[in-house]
Structure 1
Amino acid sequence: MKNLILTTAIASLVSTMAMAQDVTRLGTEGAYPPWNFINDAGEVDGFEREVGDELCARAELTCEWVTNEWDSIIPNLVSGNYDVIIAGMSITEEREEVIDFSENYSQPDPSSFLGASADIDLASAVIAAQTGTIQAAHVAEMGATLLEFATPEETVAAVKNGEADAVLADASFLQPVADSEADLSIIGEVLLGGGVAAGVRKSDTDLRDTLTAAVQSMKADGSLNALIEKWEIGATFE
């Protein structure tokens, strides 16, 4: 009887481990609307929730969502805390040295400067940006004074409280802020990055190719463009 119980327990453990290994974990920030955010039900929502779910369905993957702070999102992918990054992450040469990307599921989204005055000299201004983003890198390169923050909300707050002259972030994130804040407006724009894609570990080439095939399928039937238009992400694919 003891052997039977032990055998049953081992079989159950092996089955549980196999099921866990069959789950593809999608890592996102959950704090960057309309790309990804946590809704009132406490669930991941937004453009990338819909894209990620559809990619998993087409690739016949069983997926679950995991949230992670932006500044450690790549290290935690590499260390195995999840399998894919779907978090508004633009393809850059620097990131490609550490991880691989699927084909992009959005065009390069214009980045906007949001400030309280159109008279700001951006070249000499104090500009807020989220740490580890292409926007932060651009501010550093343009010679302005960079103020880095852990979250997107903090970058906007820095402008509202006078700590920064402007914030640089994706236009799709900042435009709703400009629409809702009478004292703030879009004062400039720049095109950065190579589009947004799913990030995977360099060892996961099969997963990368599987996701790319699913992205291509969504592009081909127009469903990706429909989601881009729904969430007002930017330019659609031709």
Structure 2
Amino acid sequence: MKKIILASAALAVSATFAIAQDKTIRMGTEGAYPPYNFINDAGEVDGFERELGDELCKRAELTCEWVKNDWDSIIPNLVSGNYDTIMAGMSITDERDEVIDFTQDYFPPTESAYVAAAEGVDVKEAIVAAQTATIQAGYIAESGATLVEFATPEETVAAVRNGEADAVFADRDYLVPLVEASNGELVFVGEDVALGGGIGMGLRESDTELKEKFDAVITEMKADGSLNTLLKKWFGDETATY
């Protein structure tokens, strides 16, 4: 799912984590990728990852503070210590795992999809929009199609609507509600593509204690069924579960 392709090594900053006496953990997210994460009408971080993150912190006896950060700098700002975790629809990939660490996945591996303004688009030869620094952008760059990149997911869809791109390639779960609400103006085209190894929480490699705490409560939520309940609440009964 989401997805950073790192163009260079992350900042060489040693940001050793020790759980603070007040047990406050700063949770970094994009706030622009519903239903994973978004900013609600009250100006607060909301969505599946907000609800899950708050529950993980509660079970781990930690306090969460949510920090909004643009996608293209979300890993560097974790490494430099601007927050302690990333919960932003980030797919677990080998490339990212060389720079940061991940908990186990809290969203099973799913698929990315193409959406266009009309059927019949040949996605292998089309102009395809994708969000900058994502695994989707990396895939399109190697697919033979012409890649056009945008800073936000909203801009990738807008590029299809206004004719800048023939199709957009993104997480299927992100695209489904947009297609359903488009009254036929947007349609799925081509074949879905499996990318990434599920979605996990990103942490600095030095933060082994914090990773262990979150891994333990994710395991607990998988075992008691509460994680599946949240997945179905935010993504529907047909979503992948544990």
The TM-score normalised by the length of structure 2 is 0.88
The equivalences for 1:8-87 within 5 A come to 22-87=23-88
- The answer for unaligned runs of 5 or more in structure 1 is 1-17
Residue by residue over 1:131-188, the C-alpha shift from the partner in whole angstroms, topping out at 9 and shown as x without a partner, is 1111111111212111111100000000000000000111111111111112111113
SS at match of 1:26: strand
Aligned to 1:103: 104
Secondary structure of 2:195's aligned partner: coil
Distance 2:142 2:59 in 1: 40
Question: For 1:186, which of 166, 185, 188 is the aligned residue?
Answer: 188
1:235 alignment partner, one of 228, 235, 240 = 240
Q: Distance in 1 between matches of 2:218 and 2:105?
A: 8
Distance 2:217 2:136 in 1: 28
CA RMSD of aligned residues (A): 1.2
Aligned pairs, how many? 219
The structure with the greater share of residues assigned to strand is: 2
State the Cα deviation string for residues 204-230 of structure 1 (Å, max 9, x = none): 011111111111010000000001101
Counterpart amino acid of residue 217 in structure 2: A
Aligned partner of 1:163 in structure 2 is 164
Computing the radius of gyration from Cα coordinates, the structure with the larger value is 1
In 2: Cα distance, 1:51 partner to 1:68 partner: 18
The 1-side partners of 2:105 and 2:124 are apart by: 31
Any unmatched runs of 5+ in structure 2? Answer: 1-19
Q: Match for residue 217 of structure 1?
A: 220
The sequence identity of aligned pairs, in percent, is 63
CA distance in 2, matches of 1:143, 1:23: 46
- The list of structure 1 runs, each at least 4 consecutive aligned residues, that deviate by more than 3 angstroms after superposition, is none
Q: Helix, strand or coil: the match of 1:112?
A: strand
Cα distance in structure 1, aligned partners of 2:55 and 2:181: 31
